[in-house]
Chains A and B, each alone.
Chain A
């Protein structure tokens, strides 16, 4: 009878199969950051030695948090708002905070996808547009901005972003970026149009394709000259570096942000599972796959960076060779890269004055290897430059950007899910509004607000959002989550829930982590993070062609109004946690009772639950 009268209440959607669920979670966790943040950290923190703090952070912080989120989502079968309201009405704000953070992150994250799309569209040309500088106005030479920096830099900063010199100077909307952003949101919409039914099918491609491309790149990269330089450089351990606390802090933050916990997306995904599902094994699979992907991905990345360093070194030497050959009128090809050193020493002895007067560059392979980059710099500058030197550049460029697209899309799915599912639980949405229309509205609103990032100063805003929204609020939410479950929900009740779902109680390792180690680590990371940020006034690197040290970026301080926005971005998401707690305190007038959770909970009517449990025990 219920079906006919009420078309709004559908049964909860569920995954087609376990593989779909696992691929979605892995896709959410494995994002662009695995490729452009982890190898960079490995490089600057002593190569192989960095793996130690990284793995320790994974075991004591990452996996427990992951398991916690998957378990409560699966047990309570609701999105983040419903789950936290269920555990305790005072913690209802945690769910709202997750939703707000997911919304803000999805806005700027999709801008990155728009940039990847732009590069993807431009990779179908010969020659690739970032390989040449355009001519200046009177066609006597190349554009001066491009000459001073490189054609790759120019393409990124001028032709893609059309960046302004200052975050205060907004510039205008860059129409090509607007249509790329619109395309990105359309792609997200089409994947989400039927909820997890369509998204679950899309994820078969977006979660597996990156691995295919990484393998292709691995095979190609290992055959490039200079690949071994890069790999040796990456993995040579520098054990001394482990004494610096910064390393441990970065390892802990990297694991935390890499696993995409505290967004609410993982809770939503696991809530669509069957009730009895081994979430412990799922958590282990997702966590270990995420770290393994980071490691696996860093091998081709660094082979290619080593190749690029070797190529730059050879180019540097060849420039010197040309200068010397022209000056001393030596026959062509007498001086080569191999015998350069002997020639140089000989000429230095015979004509020291001449050598001193010539503009010879210092070519040091180590120097070129040290030019590390992370983030957009790695993907859009360093890597695109490396691709130019590989034969068949277009193919490699297209493959690379499609891989980044897949990685970004699968992470966006989690972010969007973290917005949609709680939105429906908030009961703000009228029942007659179909799911498709709600998704369209969310996408449209995010697109319109995200137009900020297509302005001339857009890249600076993305950096602001990335550094401040995607960091401190998440740490606070995760801390509240773990403390809420371990102490307010109660470890006993939680263990019973896990026993119900997996058939075995969590062992001492999990309990110790949930109760002591992980909250402690999160607290330490949070305090250290804030202490580091609060020490200096925040600055940002600006691309200013009129800067005297151009092409170095100019370090500028954020204006006061931007600083205000930064503070708002950090505070507003987590504001809901104390506000909701206080509101409930006042409303119910109930003291925080951590012991009485199994007693009357106004948000869940357990009448039928007991009946179901009794029936189950009877049937067993």
Chain B
């Protein structure tokens, strides 16, 4: 009987090729994705800073979600169909940081250029952040500048509203006080016009009542008899 290994050379070649191709992706991956790869990006996650007590554990499944998010961003930006297997992740650290590269869906041995990846990530940054429950500061793509959201500006700056309220109250107060002063003065003038007919005796009594001393030098009534 022939030895199990004494198979035909053709079969041996085919087996070898199958093994080679099976190992190829991981070998390729190892070669394509490495720290400081030319077309790769370093990503840092600060999950505990972002979520505190609700922080999730970084494991295989979370990594899968990350790969899916990047695949989505690439598909969305380049309008090609990227698969999760096109996103290669390596060099994971306890920090939770890692490098990733993106391979082309047509040719898994070719990497997509850094600029395209950057543009794709920037375009869908908000979405990627939300998927991972992080934000621009806690999900860091080293080298990719975040697109800063412009601060919301209401139509009227709120300080003008407060100013309007204050100046309205003050202005109304001024007008009210001035008008009331004028009205009071008019009323007093009318009263005074009536008082002028008072007797001098009444005036003396009034001044004495206010604990003053009536100064008679300027009194109208003449002590001397008229000539």
Contacts and interface: CB of A to CB of B under 8 A. Distances in A.
Nearest to A332: B48
B174 A193 contact: yes
Contacts of B161: 124
Given A139-B150, A141-B148, A2 B174 contact: no
Contact of B151 (A134, A329, A608): A134
Nearest to B167: A183
Interface in A311-360: 325-326, 329-333
Contacts of A427: none
Contacts of B195: 3-4
Contact of A186 (B95, B148, B162, B174): B174
Given A135-B148, A187-B170, A436 B178 contact: yes
Contacts of A193: 174, 177-178, 181
Interface string A124-160: 1100000010110001111000000000000000000
Contacts of B215: 608
A189 interface: yes
A122 interface: yes
Contact of B47 (A3, A4, A124, A332): A332
Contacts of B94: 329-331
A287 B91 CA distance: 72
Contacts of B47: 332
Contacts of A330: 94-95
A120 B47 CA distance: 38
A332 B181 contact: no
A436 B219 CA distance: 32
Contacts of A141: 145, 148
B182 to A, nearest CB: 9
Contacts of A615: 213
Contacts of B177: 190, 193-194, 198
Contact of A125 (B158, B174, B218): B158
B151 A132 contact: yes
Interface string B160-177: 111100110011011001
Most buried by B among A1, A3, A140, A608: A1
A1 B219 contact: yes
A449 interface: no
B219 to A, nearest CB: 7
A37 B162 CA distance: 30
A190 B170 contact: yes
Most buried by B among A120, A122, A193, A329: A329
A331 B95 contact: yes
B95 A190 contact: no
Contacts of A118: 159
A179 interface: yes
Nearest to A180: B163
B220 interface: yes
Contacts of B173: 190
A248 to B, nearest CB: 43
Given A186-B170, A330-B94, A332-B49, A124 B162 contact: yes
Most buried by B among A124, A329, A332: A332
A121 B170 contact: no
Interface residues of A, number: 41
B46 A2 contact: no
Given A125-B159, A329-B97, A140 B178 contact: no
Interface residues of B, number: 41
Contacts of B97: 326, 329
A125 B150 CA distance: 16
A170 to B, nearest CB: 25
A608 B44 CA distance: 93
Contact of A121 (B147, B151, B162, B171): B162
A121 B147 CA distance: 31
Contacts of A124: 158-159, 161-162
A332 B93 CA distance: 11
Contacts of B147: 139-140
Contact of B95 (A3, A121, A122, A329): A329
Contacts of B174: 186, 189-190, 193
A332 B150 contact: no
B37 interface: no
Nearest to B154: A125
Contact of B159 (A1, A122, A134, A189): A122
A586 B203 CA distance: 46
A2 B163 contact: no
Given A186-B174, A190-B174, A2 B148 contact: no
Interface in A225-274: none
Nearest to A185: B170
A122 B166 CA distance: 13
Contacts of B200: 1
Nearest to B94: A331
A4 B192 contact: yes
Nearest to A328: B95
Contact of B48 (A122, A132, A333): A333
A183 B174 CA distance: 12
Interface of B: 44, 46-49, 93-97, 145, 147-148, 150-151, 158-163, 166-167, 170-171, 173-174, 177-178, 181, 189, 192, 195-196, 200, 203, 213, 215, 218-220
15 contacts: A1-B200, A1-B220, A121-B162, A124-B158, A135-B148, A179-B167, A187-B170, A190-B177, A193-B174, A194-B181, A325-B95, A326-B95, A329-B97, A331-B94, A332-B48
Given A183-B167, A194-B181, A436-B178, 15 more contacts: A2-B218, A3-B192, A7-B189, A120-B162, A124-B159, A125-B158, A125-B159, A140-B145, A142-B148, A190-B173, A193-B174, A193-B177, A193-B178, A193-B181, A330-B94
Closest 8 CB pairs of A and B: A329-B93, A121-B159, A329-B95, A331-B94, A121-B162, A332-B48, A122-B159, A186-B170
